Structure 1
């Protein structure tokens, strides 16, 4: 994977990451790779613990040049959680941003951790060129699933998976010389890392924020610095009222359930929304929908990307089944676990219409079975989101002696408040009686992980 070296030769002065050029990043990462070559020479799998930054990106490319497998560590994890992930992955050591020194010094590492400095300037020393042969089956990255419903799983991402993803994504989203992706989601999540790798493959720029910041994003949009960004629904809902002047050509929206009310608001503002469906195990995008081209398919998540096959198994009489994905970008087994073959079982339930558009109804494990009837939480959540006072909501099952399970609604509000009885009155007549929430619970905020997904297991 020599894309950085190639672009540094083709367009050395073209901006790549923030104000750093392709030449700068190639030069700095080679300098760092040479510095780390000896201490890491007998160690294949290296952890990386950092917030989004230019220095983190340079470290990623330095480790790739050394042929290492990079395990991304979530900066929000506790010491015990980090210890568990490091032990499970059999890591030798960790490259860490200096602000996490107090945590990494207590981790069970075979050799001392390496620390990143804040990269204020690019080293100007002569650097050794690193050239690695293409190894399609070699593990480049290891990413842990978000574990919103259970224990994390470590997903090995090969060079072949990365190449398949960026190539297919380019066919759907296109690529132009002056493209500039905003990265506001963490690089330790697939949504952030996939943008970096797409931009590297396309030879285009990225603007990286250390974390989601409404004012910084809006300023970047208004000054026309960026024209592409990837957001989760909670991010867009916080930005949408203030999004006015822009040159945006793509807003990739996914990572969690997208309320219909948010979609309608985005269309009203003529925002270039592309709904996307994918997961860590497929290295991001598997299906994408350009909303402006398909006003009659707003509830779909799109058609499969090139080289992706989406099928259903265990299909019921209504055409609803378990969603399966197969493609060159699908992993073939979790780290240090037995290999998997055939299409990947996503754990999602949905259907495919006559035009080939995929509709995702719910996670299989989130479906509520009440008195033998299936209740899809998203159906209830979508209606609740129609109420203007609602900020966020989630429906989960509660055990019930008579019915087996019944739905329970948790919600948070925007500036104005709403009563439980008002919510219930709104749902009556729109839902069958057995689908109505048996309990409605107000929360100031709902628990979410670093990528913005609501953590259902905390509420169960």
Structure 2
């Protein structure tokens, strides 16, 4: 068998070559690669019976679960696309995505069954509630052979907000997800050896979670799946040396290190910690390197690049190394350019927009040809909207974002979304939302508000927002100002607000 080019082909490959080896461990139950692939065929048969076929979309609303991986591979076996949904979103946000995705069927865990029904009200979609006590695919005839084996078919559709605040479905092909991975298998932080196991604690609706899980699966090694990040459980797993590799956002790493039990934990079984998705406070990284004594690798990428395209290798993780402030170097198969406002390449040391050309780039945004055309140029370069520069050795330093996106605890927050909700509060005249540096979250969502009623408490405003927008998008800090600074054209000067509030501390 040659190098598998699709996810179902990869599952079939390991079902033959490592059939009895564990692929996933969830809720105390281990699933081998052979059993996993067989289960995916049965689920594919049930999906086919439900009308799923080529170019259909299968949606899923749940915390991390092995069933999510079954649905992903099974949908792909039929030439369909898997669409995991963010369970942290408010009902109106979910409703928009469900309507936009046009999925034939939505699977929800029992915990989110009510949310699924509420969000899908008025949409022609079948909802299946996955109950631990019943197997919805039990009576299905397993699919004999995958219907399609096309590397350019869309395997995964992840929703990522745009600067206007409307979510867009980034379409990721099998080629994007798998095409460059054979080039990476001998990289020290990517390589998996016999005895290695991974921990998946980041959410599967995020490329950080899905990309990490695929890294282990692609290497034929098991992943321990947690429904969500849980400090107590993770510390216990570390103490028993249950896993050797994991991916964490900086805020999660800090929560582990700050926990009262951390001093009593044996971290000796940890081999590699990958981190990314938001800025890493240097003090946290310095302490983590001293306390954990394992390899660290920073990852830079985005949903539109199927995850990591730039990495800072373990060899560069030396205290005091100025390159710790960088994102690292481009991975094999990835090209980087820094461009000026006119789109011309800039030399080393000059700051401009980061552009990426790689087989990992998205195929486009679902039903958004305008956004797709704006994101990628005619030569296949993805225009990231991030500003940065390359040094003489090709290390990428990310300086700022060309747009105003905030990354808080590894989650993307777009000011327009938060401002839209806040501006509808009867006490708010106008508002500007920015991100401020934060030791725990990387950036803290901060609202600068002009109020009609100066007596209203911050807690009352925050309580009003709950249920109207996802919890991680709610400002952690509200600052009252007499007016929003604007330029001559009337545009709000966010940078001025950010600088003033940062100076206040």
User: The TM-score by the shorter chain falls in which range?
Assistant: 0.7 to 0.9
Q: What does 1:294-313 correspond to in 2, within 5 Å?
A: 294-295=317-318, 296=321, 297-313=323-339
The answer for the alignment partner of 2:209 in structure 1 is 192
Mapped partners of 2:238, 2:494: distance in 1: 46
By how many angstroms is 1:148 displaced? Answer: 8.6
Mapped partners of 1:119, 1:265: distance in 2: 44
1:350-395 deviation digits (Å, cap 9, x = unpaired):
1111111001111112499xxxxxxxx99x83xx74xxxx776548
Mapped partners of 2:163, 2:245: distance in 1: 27
Mapped partners of 1:116, 1:51: distance in 2: 12
Please tell me whether the aligned partners of residues 44 and 142 of structure 2 are also in contact (alpha carbons under 8 angstroms).
Answer: no
Q: Give unmatched runs, 5+ long, in structure 2.
A: 1-5, 341-345, 407-433, 449-483
Mapped partners of 1:322, 1:70: distance in 2: 31
By how many angstroms is 1:209 displaced? Answer: 0.2
> Are 2:125 and 1:87 aligned?
no
By how many angstroms is 1:287 displaced? Answer: 0.4
Match of 2:381 among 335, 338, 343: 343
1:397 to 1:219, Cα distance in 2 relative to 1, 3 A: closer
1:70 to 1:354, Cα distance in 2 relative to 1, 3 A: same
Match of 2:399 among 358, 361, 366: 361
SS in 2 for 1:365: coil
By how many angstroms is 1:89 displaced? Answer: 2.2
1:320 to 1:202, Cα distance in 2 relative to 1, 3 A: same
By how many angstroms is 1:334 displaced? Answer: 1.1
TM-score when scaled to structure 1?
0.79
Match of 2:51 among 25, 28, 40: 40
Greater Cα offset, 396-405 or 35-44: 396-405
Greater Cα offset, 258-267 or 35-44: 35-44
1:395-450 deviation digits (Å, cap 9, x = unpaired):
879643699556557xxxxxxxxxxxxxxxxxxxxxxxx7783544xxxxxxxxxx
SS in 1 for 2:325: coil
Q: What does 1:297-446 correspond to in 2, within 5 Å?
A: 297-314=323-340, 315=346, 319-338=350-369, 339-340=372-373, 341=377, 342-366=380-404, 381=437, 385=439, 394=444, 399-400=484-485, 404=493, 407=496, 437-440=502-505
> Are 2:20 and 1:10 aligned?
no
The answer for the alignment partner of 2:255 in structure 1 is 238
Mapped partners of 2:185, 2:295: distance in 1: 16
The answer for the alignment partner of 1:162 in structure 2 is 177
Q: What does 1:194-233 correspond to in 2, within 5 Å?
A: 194-233=211-250
1:405 to 1:127, Cα distance in 2 relative to 1, 3 A: closer
TM-score when scaled to structure 2?
0.72
By how many angstroms is 1:24 displaced? Answer: 1.8
SS in 1 for 2:146: coil
Which 4+ stretches in 1 moved above 6 angstroms? 119-126, 395-398
Match of 2:152 among 127, 137, 145: 137
Greater Cα offset, 217-226 or 27-36: 27-36
Please tell me whether the aligned partners of residues 185 and 212 of structure 1 are also in contact (alpha carbons under 8 angstroms).
Answer: yes
Greater Cα offset, 237-246 or 158-167: 237-246
> Are 2:79 and 1:67 aligned?
yes
Match of 2:305 among 256, 266, 282: 282
By how many angstroms is 1:124 displaced? Answer: 11
Mapped partners of 1:131, 1:93: distance in 2: 19
By how many angstroms is 1:169 displaced? Answer: 4.3
The answer for the alignment partner of 1:424 in structure 2 is none
By how many angstroms is 1:200 displaced? Answer: 2.2
Mapped partners of 2:353, 2:38: distance in 1: 47
RMSD (CA atoms): 3.1
By how many angstroms is 1:168 displaced? Answer: 4.3
Q: Give unmatched runs, 5+ long, in structure 1.
A: 369-376, 410-433, 441-460
Mapped partners of 1:200, 1:287: distance in 2: 20
Match of 2:128 among 114, 125, 143: 114
1:285-308 deviation digits (Å, cap 9, x = unpaired):
010112443532111111000110
Mapped partners of 1:62, 1:96: distance in 2: 16
By how many angstroms is 1:276 displaced? Answer: 0.6
SS in 2 for 1:278: strand
The answer for the alignment partner of 2:286 in structure 1 is 264
Mapped partners of 1:213, 1:292: distance in 2: 30
The answer for the alignment partner of 1:422 in structure 2 is none
Please tell me whether the aligned partners of residues 55 and 119 of structure 1 are also in contact (alpha carbons under 8 angstroms).
Answer: no
Mapped partners of 2:157, 2:88: distance in 1: 17
1:126 to 1:144, Cα distance in 2 relative to 1, 3 A: closer
